[in-house]
Amino acid sequence: MGAVGRSRCGRGFTLVEVVVATVVLAVGLVGALTAFSMAARVSAVSSDDTLLVFLAQEKLSEIQLLGPGGLADAQTRGDFAPEHPEYQWLMLVGKPDERNVVRVDVTISYPEAGKTREEVFSTNVF
């Protein structure tokens, strides 16, 4: 009878062991899913920021090519259609200083999470 008792103790898992293993597995899965979700969000934000900087650089390069003579002391606006019509730009051109340097501010706005986000980029044209 002693041999039968020993063989039963050595087989299988107790209910407590199964519950503990399930809790450990659940905590691990929740942590992994949270990490994946956060990584996806960060990736989307990074992609939006990269596009924003690319569009700003494109507009600032156009301004640099115009030179100070091609810029009117005014405010102009537009968008980045047809590829990105949701991104709008507003360009403010200052007056030339004593060295004929013109400051140009470009504000780019776009919708994000139900609000409009704006970023300002500046350059000097001489």
Query: Distance between alpha carbon 51 and the CA centroid of its chain, in Å?
Result: 9
pLDDT(7) > 60:
no
pLDDT(2) > 70:
no
Please give the average per-residue pLDDT across 4-9, as a whole number: 52
For residue range 11-59, list pLDDT tens digits in order.
788 999 999 999 999 999 999 998 888 888 877 777 888 888 889 888 8
For residue range 79-93, list pLDDT tens digits in order.
998 998 999 999 988
Q: Amino acid letter at 123?
A: T
Full-prediction pTM beyond 0.75?
A: no
